[in-house]
Every structure is written in C-alpha cells, then in structure tokens.
Structure 1
Amino acid sequence: MIPMVDLKTQYHQLKEEIDAGILAALDNTAFVMGPNVQAFEKEAAEYLGVKHAISCANGTEALHLALEAAGIGPGDEVITSAFTFIATAEAIRYVGAKPVFVDIDPRTLNITAAAIEAAITANTKAVMPVHLFGQPCDMAAIQAVAERHGLKVIEDCAQSFGASIAGKQTGSLGLAAGFSFFPSKNLGAYGDGGLVTTNDDAIAAKVRVLRNHGSEVRYYHDVIGYNSRLDELQAVVLRVKLKRIEQFNAGRRHAAHLYSELMAGLPLETPFEDGVGVHVYHQYTLLSDRRDAIMAALQQAKIACAIYYPVPLHQQKVFAADCQGLSLPNTEAVAARCLSLPIFPELSDEQVREVVAVIREALAA
C-alpha cells in the first residue's frame, strides 16, 4: 500500500525531538500564546523573509484575517481562482465581499494577470492569487495589474510553503498572505494551524488584535475579533519541521521529477513547471482523458490517489447565485481530467516506479 502522504514515517524520523519538545511544553504549562508560538512566529518570519508572521487557528482563518485587516468588506469584489479549495472563497465571503472567479492557465493551473485584468470592475478591491499545488503564480505580472488598478494583493499560500520566485518566498510578495499548516501540507502540524504574513506594520497590528478577541490589552476590546490562536503544542511540531522544510521540499521535488521522467511519452500530461518560480509539489497532479481507468487500477493496487478538485467553485451550489451562466473552459476541462498521485518527502524511488508501472499498464489496456 502507498498512501497519499505518510505522516507516520515522518513522525518516527522526528519522534525524539518532537516528543521532547511536547513534554517540555507540557511541563511549562504555558498552553496559549506560549513561548513556542512566539518563537515559531519569529523563525517563520525569518525563513519567509517577511517583517511579520502572525500565527492563527487555521489556514482559512489566516486568509479571513488578512482580508479583514486589509479593509476588504461588504460590497467589495475579490478576484480569485475557481480551481482551488473552497476555503479561498469562504474567506472572501466571511468579510462580506464577493468572490469573482476567473479562468486558469491550463498548464500551470493558476490564474493569470490577463484573466484578472479582464474581470476588474468598479467594485474590485483585491486579488487573491492561489499558488496551487505548490506552483507559484506569476506574481510580477499580477502585481503589475494590481498596481495599475489600485488593487490589494492577498496571496493564498495554503499549498506553497517554501515555494519561491527569484529568491523571494511566496507569502512575501503581496500586501499580506495566508498559510495553512493542515497535517498533509508541506509544513504540516499535528492538527490545524495557520499563519498570516505581511511587511505592513498596520496590517500586522490589526491581525494580532483580530485573532485575539479584538484585544490588544487583556480585557480591553476595541473591535469585535475572533478566537483564532495557534496552539502551543502545534507550534512545537512546526518548529521542529520548519528546520527541515528545505529538505522536505527537495524530497517532494525529487519524487515529482522522477514521476514526470518515467511518464514521459505516455498519453497524459504531467505537471508543468513554468520556470517563473520554484514548485514545491504539495500535490503531484496529472491530466488524463483516461482518469477513471488510472484511478481504478491504482485503487486495485492499493495505491492512494485523489481528485483535487472535482467540482470547480463556480459550479458549487453555494455560489450558484453569483455564477449563473459563468463559463470557465480551462477550469472545467482540468477538473474533468485531473488526478493527484502520492507525494511526500519520504516517497522512495521504488514506490514512484511502482505507481508509474500501474499507470502504464492501465493505459496499455
């Protein structure tokens, strides 16, 4: 059996350090906003090359807090991708704004500057590019459009921790950004966790107040905020893993490149790296007209696989009222053909070859 992600193997490799850190945190008994949370924020800011890294409860909350701190609210429109997890659009809805979905590039699977510019209206106030599956968007082009039209850029980095463009980390390129530490992420906790990054002092100050019940001084509340804090024990895990993120991402890239090398010439499309940035392969997603046959063969061989995402957001019932008649051909075609294979730092060459052998046999049938 080959899983989508092997958290158990990774835990056993890190067990001694993680267990010691958790036991020390338990003994210290500073469970909320404790020293590990503070240390992780400092270490994450240094790694990502940002002035401020503010932890929170999860990735959805990170996007929500970033949008609210940036002043996005009712009546505003935020342009984003329809080919992403619903959290991207949920966060926009949480602040009372309207997500405006645009089509993706059929190779990078990310939104483009041209698609963004074509969707701008008088109500557009922000753009939320999603660095999908770990492939950075073309941020220089997107920023140029945003600057021309006076739009704020909030990056969705839920899948791109460690991805970079010209030496700059995703999460350091817009006004603010949101990261997720869901266990399967490139940098994953052992539960939920999130992070807001920004170089803007005012945005950072607002996020810190909003995540903690609207309070800067205990029991004094200036605004209605949220209970959105990273758990101390999760911070212990994240600190251990952050030291190894380059190694982890290198392992993912090695496995991904071996997949693509071994599947060259097969009647399917392997992930495209546009060379604009460094792809960190949160998912390894291929495109095939014979997806169902490949899935059935993998499942028969006890190899995990998944469809991210079978129904684009503009076709979801919850957004039906806003998206009547909206056609996004590239998004719809990709959703009908995409399939994600196992990918994690510890994936062996032998396991990659086993997965590809099953796919090759399925396509030959």
Structure 2
Amino acid sequence: MEQPSTFSNRIPVLDLSREIRELKPQLMQAAQDVLDGGAFIMGDNVRQLEREIAGYLGVNYAVALNSGTDALVIALLAAGIGEGDEVITTPFTFFATAEAISRVNAVPVFADVEPDTFNLNPDRLKEAITPRTKAIIPVHLFGQPADMDRLMELAQAHGLHVIEDAAQAFGADHQGRKAGTIGDIGCFSFFPSKNLGAFGDGGMLVTNSGDIAEQATMLRAHGSKKKYYNELIGLNSRLDEIQAAFLRVKLPYIEKWNEDRRQAARVYRELLGQVSGLKCPVETERARHVFHQYTVRVMDGRRDELKSALDQAGIGTAVYYPLPVHKLPVYEAMQAHMPVAEQLSGEVLSLPIGPHMEAETQAYIARKIVEALR
C-alpha cells in the first residue's frame, strides 16, 4: 500500500470520521431528543450519564463538569487545597495539571518521571515531599496508569490526598481497578480526541466520598445547593445536556474501542519493536494501557527528522510535549531540573492510532519509519 501524500489522503494522528459515520443515526437521534425535550442545562442526560459512568467505573459518585481542567480545579477545592499548600505532580503532562494547582493558589512541585512509562516516578516523588505537601496528582499519561500501589503507599504514610488525572485514561485498569477510582478523586476529560470524547468540551469528577461529591456538585453551580442561595465561591462548570447525550451514545462502545486500540498497539510493536533508534511504549504487568496515544521515543536526536519525513509521506504525527511543564514560561522561574522529562521532550513522537486503525495503514507507517531511520 503506497499512500499518496496529498492533504485529502493524509493519515491523521486521530481520525474520528469513521466513528461519526457509524454512530451518526444514534447521535442525530440523541440531538433531536434533546432539542425536542427543551432541557439544555443539567437535564436528564447529565444525570443518567453520571449514573452510567459511576456504574462503569465502580464508584459511588460521578459529577459531570464543563472540562477536565475544571475537574482538576474543583477536585483541589473540594479536597481543601488552597493558598501555600504544595501539590506534587509530574512535569511531563499537559499544562492543565499544574495550571489547576496554581489556579487554587497552591504551589505545584514537580517530581521527575520514569523513562519507560513517562509517568510520575515514586522515588522522585518521595524526595519532593515536605511538611507543606498536601496532595499528589499523578497523571495516567497516554492511557498508561501510573504506579498507584507505590504512590498510594506514600500518600497514606504522609497523610496526603491523591487526585488522579485520568484525562487520557478512561477505561484503563490498574490491578483490576479502573484508573481514576484508586485515589480520593479521579478527574476525566471528554475533549473530542479522548478515548471517550464528546463533540465539544466536557469533564467528570468521580469519588467514593459523599462529602467531596457534595462539594463538587455545589462548586460546579456557583457554590450553591439551592439556586440563588450560594454558600461557596464556585464556578460555572456544568456539562451541556447535548454533550451528555452524545457521551451516553458512545459509552457502551468504550471497552471495544479500547481493545481495538490495544490491538493496534500490538501491531505497531510487531512492526517497530526491533527498529534501531526507536523505543516503543512499555506496558507494565500491573496495568492495562488504553493507548490514548501511541508514543515512541526516537533516539540519537532524530525525532524532528523523522517527524518531517513522515509529514512528507502524508503521515500525521504529534509531539506530546515539546516542553516539560517546568520549562514553560509561567514556571521557568522555579529553575527546576527534571532530566528525564527534559530528555523525553526531545525524543517523543506520537503516531496515528485509534479504534479504527487498519493493519495496512500501520504497515505503511512502519515502512516509512524504517526508511527514514536508515
């Protein structure tokens, strides 16, 4: 299969077109039902989605929100994290993780990551704990759960809250438990590119704590239990009814889609596992990866060269992330040094993946990678 490199025939990092085509009748009916029902904010679809996701994940409470970022902010507020408190997290993640900490006037403290899983290194985290530390936010990056056994041990030993950033890991497992359900609070994003994605912004906070769920429910609606009787300074962070309806259509497919992603990852490993100068993602025995991204490491300073070659071949790729968070302008005054995260930022390259990847497309991608790295 020789893929033309014209724009119309490019292979995108993620292609949602087939999913939309297959589900379009159900999605259109869901939209029509919302329009006919006339409830657009906090309607029955939102309530049903909360129940369905709580049931799928095996938690007591799910609170639908406007975004994964708001889920992190509200989680921190509900956990009582505030000014001057330190929260340890990874420097190798999307900015929103640290941004949420800063947004509640707490202090993000970065601990370096493991080079194979890209996730928070428990040994580095242990070194970062101080008397001011109040919480940990591990990120299950690219769909691979962090080492929650060790992180929970450290948190319990030091009396710390654990807020899981599971934005990229909906449906992933750690020792048989769903990512986002192991710590005190789990936070999810339904950004369109996610494994379970809406067609706009959306998020979810999950917990087994009734108190945290109550706080989160108030905070998403301007800090009120009863309309116009505000008890807290909150946010406007309600999930749109139409997005909830779309997510309810998609939720029953998530297990199959995640398994299809894992199959695509197995094909990539077979094709690329022995390519010199390339390191494929590592899967740990403790966790079930859901491959939100299939991110390889390109060694010997050749990442940008490979990215350019694949672009010329009509293959879309992405760099997550070109700068670790501690090197971004807003945090660079901290002068933190995270050698593993800094090295990874120059090596990582995410290849096209999704539940509808075809083996012949992957074979073409692999062939172009081999040609470029000769």
Using the TM superposition, give the Cα deviation of residue 256 of structure 1 relative to its aligned residue in structure 2, in angstroms. Answer: 1.0
Partner of 2:159: 150
Whole-angstrom CA distance in 2 between matches of 1:264 and 1:253: 15
User: Which of the residues 63, 88, 95 maps onto 1:86?
Assistant: 95
User: Which of the residues 189, 193, 197 maps onto 2:202?
Assistant: 193
Whole-angstrom CA distance in 1 between matches of 2:316 and 2:202: 25
1:206-245 to 2 correspondence within 5 Å?
Answer: 206-245=215-254
Deviations 1:257-277 (A, max 9, x none): 111110121121000012111
Partner of 2:143: 134
Whole-angstrom CA distance in 2 between matches of 1:135 and 1:166: 12
Whole-angstrom CA distance in 2 between matches of 1:315 and 1:5: 27
User: Which of the residues 293, 317, 325 maps onto 1:305?
Assistant: 317
Using the TM superposition, give the Cα deviation of residue 344 of structure 1 relative to its aligned residue in structure 2, in angstroms. Answer: 0.8
The SS at the match of 1:317 is coil
Partner of 1:275: 285
Identity %: 49
Deviations 1:253-307 (A, max 9, x none): 1111111110121121000012111000000000012212211111001110010
- C-alpha RMSD over aligned residues: 0.7
Whole-angstrom CA distance in 2 between matches of 1:218 and 1:13: 40
The SS at the match of 2:182 is coil
The SS at the match of 1:53 is strand
Q: Which amino acid aligns with 2:51?
A: K
Partner of 1:355: 365
Instruction: Verify: 1:68 aligned to 2:80, yes or no.
Output: no
Whole-angstrom CA distance in 1 between matches of 2:287 and 2:273: 22
Q: Which amino acid aligns with 1:311?
A: L
The SS at the match of 2:135 is strand
Whole-angstrom CA distance in 1 between matches of 2:323 and 2:305: 19
Partner of 1:36: 45
Using the TM superposition, give the Cα deviation of residue 112 of structure 1 relative to its aligned residue in structure 2, in angstroms. Answer: 2.0
Unmatched runs of 5 consecutive residues or more in structure 2: 1-9
Using the TM superposition, give the Cα deviation of residue 106 of structure 1 relative to its aligned residue in structure 2, in angstroms. Answer: 0.3
Name which of structure 1's ranges 107-116 and 153-162 shifts more when overlaid on structure 2.
Answer: 107-116
Instruction: Verify: 1:329 aligned to 2:329, yes or no.
Output: no
Q: Detail structure 1 runs of 4+ shifted over 4 Å in the superposition.
A: none
The SS at the match of 2:288 is coil
Whole-angstrom CA distance in 2 between matches of 1:315 and 1:334: 13
Partner of 1:184: 193
Deviations 1:89-126 (A, max 9, x none): 01101111011011100001001221111100111000
Instruction: Verify: 1:173 aligned to 2:193, yes or no.
Output: no
TM-score w.r.t. length of structure 2: 0.96
Q: Which amino acid aligns with 1:320?
A: E
Whole-angstrom CA distance in 1 between matches of 2:235 and 2:161: 23
Whole-angstrom CA distance in 2 between matches of 1:336 and 1:166: 31
Instruction: Verify: 1:254 aligned to 2:240, yes or no.
Output: no
Instruction: Verify: 1:314 aligned to 2:326, yes or no.
Output: yes
The SS at the match of 2:346 is helix
Partner of 1:338: 348
The SS at the match of 1:305 is coil
Partner of 1:205: 214
Whole-angstrom CA distance in 1 between matches of 2:98 and 2:337: 17
The SS at the match of 2:330 is helix
Q: Which amino acid aligns with 2:288?
A: V
The SS at the match of 2:115 is coil
Instruction: Verify: 1:98 aligned to 2:110, yes or no.
Output: no
Deviations 1:7-48 (A, max 9, x none): 111100101111111101110010000111110000000001
Q: Which amino acid aligns with 1:275?
A: E
Whole-angstrom CA distance in 2 between matches of 1:315 and 1:292: 19
Partner of 2:308: 296
The SS at the match of 1:361 is helix
Using the TM superposition, give the Cα deviation of residue 171 of structure 1 relative to its aligned residue in structure 2, in angstroms. Answer: 1.0
Whole-angstrom CA distance in 1 between matches of 2:105 and 2:192: 29
Unmatched runs of 5 consecutive residues or more in structure 1: none
Deviations 1:132-185 (A, max 9, x none): 000001101100000001110000000000001121101110000110000000
User: Which of the residues 107, 118, 131 maps onto 1:122?
Assistant: 131
User: Which of the residues 102, 118, 122 maps onto 1:109?
Assistant: 118
Partner of 2:274: 265
